């Protein structure tokens, strides 16, 4: 298979590209190496992928429409779209970056796909689109119309843009709502990396909302497994359907488009998460308790019934195991 992976130097795009290459697929990766966090880490990830002869790397921003069109002329069987300005908190500081990458960048990709639709487009979204929904676990069929941050607003908008393109131009599309993904090669702006780095340098760790938070931490290998299993699960077009979709399916009545949660399905309290970090590091953390940050939500919790119905798979890696794998990688990456 010939697959386009956007954001291939990013945390999740790198892991998915690596698994595709390991199983023999051809991967064309594109990444803009944005400075949101140290691009050196992104270059190291791409250097890993460059060891595979079937990997082709491109460096530009998706906002550069001419380059997107030119690249897309190669034609692809499938597209994984991960490139985005990620991060909830940074969207308060630099909202424009979200509009450019997540709206304009995604639009340019959709326009390119319109010319020659892939068999399946899989686009990254986020649990943040559920906003402050209080009915947990979050289901794909729940309303998700009250984003609390511009990050969430741009990702929800990308879901809607993709729906219209799927309807108008017959692009079979799956939107993936990810829940706090962590693991080796993870992002320096996320809690696990920040905790381990602070502990290594004997600094206190910041714990928001006085530890009264829960996250549905999802281990990267589990997420990659789910992403690869979903690749052949192509949403059927309305005209090709027989019978009605099951009640849990988010399949659109108007398009070959659905949304799928990828989460662990078992939220973990922040204190419990820190305990796992302490155990893996063999060290006690100095805790700096802080107020909840603007735009944050107290709980995320994925209902994974649809993922299971479509793929027969649910994430299952315990947090202790995943955190230990991260710490092992971190120590080899930059010795503690
Ligand atoms: N990591 C998580 O916990 C998580 C949770 C929910 C959703 N997501 C989503 O998953 C996707 C991947 O996230 P990640 O954690 O790998 O983030 P990441 O920041 O590590 O990866 C994103 C990559 O996209 C690239 N990029 C950003 N803007 C670009 C642009 N305009 N043009 C080209 N490249 C650009 C960056 O250089 C980066 O390498 C994103 O869409 C993100 O919103 C991630």
pLDDT at site 336: 40
Supply the range of the domain harboring residue 205.
191-214+267-300+317-333
What is the count of structural domains for the chain?
Answer: 2
102 CA distance to ligand 1 middle (Å): 9
81 CA closest ligand 1 atom index = 41
Whether residue 275 sits in one domain with residue 144: no
- Looking at the domain assignment, is residue 307 inside a domain? no
Whether residue 36 sits in one domain with residue 149: yes
87 CA distance to ligand 1 middle (Å): 9
- Looking at the domain assignment, is residue 311 inside a domain? no
Whether residue 200 sits in one domain with residue 136: no
Whether residue 274 sits in one domain with residue 155: no
pLDDT, tens digit, 9 for 90 and up, residues 171-187: 999 999 999 999 999 99
pTM: 0.98
Q: Which pair of structure tokens corresponds to residue 277?
A: 């970090």
Whether residue 26 sits in one domain with residue 85: yes
151 CA closest ligand 1 atom index = 43
Whether residue 230 sits in one domain with residue 325: no
Which of the residues are catalytic? 151
- Looking at the domain assignment, is residue 306 inside a domain? no
Whether residue 255 sits in one domain with residue 121: yes
Nearest CA to ligand 1 atom 11: 82
pLDDT, tens digit, 9 for 90 and up, residues 265-297: 999 999 999 999 999 999 999 999 999 999 899
Nearest CA to ligand 1 atom 2: 181
**Mutation probe of ligand 1 site: the residue of 4, 12, 68 with most atoms within 8 A of C-beta:** 12
- Looking at the domain assignment, is residue 312 inside a domain? no
- Looking at the domain assignment, is residue 239 inside a domain? yes
Q: Which helix (H) or strand (E) holds 46?
A: helix 39-49
Nearest CA to ligand 1 atom 28: 84
pLDDT at site 183: 98
266 CA distance to ligand 1 middle (Å): 24
105 CA closest ligand 1 atom index = 31
d(CA 286, CA 277): 12
Whether residue 113 sits in one domain with residue 174: yes
Please, which residues bridge with residue 27 across strands?
3, 55
281: domain CATH number is: 3.90.25.10
pLDDT at site 174: 98
Residue 177 neighbours by CB under 8 Å, 6+ apart = 125, 126, 127, 129, 130, 138, 140, 259, 260, 261, 262, 263, 302
- Looking at the domain assignment, is residue 308 inside a domain? no
pLDDT at site 266: 96
267 with 300: CB under 8 angstroms? yes
10 CA distance to ligand 1 middle (Å): 6
Give per-10-residue mean pLDDT for the chain (336 aa): 98 98 98 97 97 98 98 97 95 96 98 97 98 95 96 98 98 98 97 96 95 97 98 96 90 97 97 97 96 92 98 98 97 72
Whether residue 258 sits in one domain with residue 196: no
Whether residue 273 sits in one domain with residue 148: no
Whether residue 210 sits in one domain with residue 135: no
């Amino acid at each position: 298979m010939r697959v386009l992976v956007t954001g291939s130097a990013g945390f999740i795009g790198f892991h998915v590209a690596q698994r595709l290459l390991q199983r023999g697929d051809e991967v064309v990766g594109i990444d803009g190496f944005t400075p949101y966090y140290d691009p050196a880490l992104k270059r190291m990830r791409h250097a890993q992928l460059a060891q595979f002869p079937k990997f082709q790397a491109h460096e530009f921003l998706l906002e550069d429409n001419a380059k997107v069109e030119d690249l897309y002329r190669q034609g692809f069987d499938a597209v994984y779209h991960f490139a985005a300005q990620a991060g909830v908190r940074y969207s308060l500081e630099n909202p424009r970056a979200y509009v450019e990458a997540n709206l304009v960048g995604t639009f340019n990709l959709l326009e390119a796909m319109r010319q020659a639709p892939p068999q399946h487009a899989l686009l990254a979204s986020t649990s943040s689109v559920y906003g402050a929904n209080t009915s947990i676990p979050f289901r794909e069929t729940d309303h998700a119309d009250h984003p609390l941050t511009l990050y969430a607003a741009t990702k929800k908008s990308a879901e809607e843009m993709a729906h219209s393109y799927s309807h108008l131009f017959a692009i079979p599309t799956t939107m993936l709502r990810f829940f706090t993904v962590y693991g080796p090669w993870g992002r320096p702006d996320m809690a696990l990396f920040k905790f381990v780095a602070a502990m290594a340098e004997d600094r206190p760790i910041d714990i928001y909302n006085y530890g009264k938070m829960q996250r549905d931490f999802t281990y990267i290998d589990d997420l990659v497994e789910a992403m690869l299993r979903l690749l052949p699960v192509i949403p059927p077009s309305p005209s090709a359907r027989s019978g009605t979709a099951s009640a849990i399916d988010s399949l659109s009545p108007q398009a070959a488009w659905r949304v799928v949660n990828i989460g662990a399905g078992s939220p973990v309290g922040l204190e419990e998460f820190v305990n796992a970090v302490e155990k893996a590091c063999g060290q006690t953390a100095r805790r700096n308790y802080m107020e909840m940050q603007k735009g944050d939500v107290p709980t995320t919790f994925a209902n994974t019934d649809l993922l299971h119905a479509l793929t027969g798979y649910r994430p299952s890696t315990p947090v202790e195991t995943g955190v230990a794998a991260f710490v092992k990688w971190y120590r080899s990456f930059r010795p503690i």
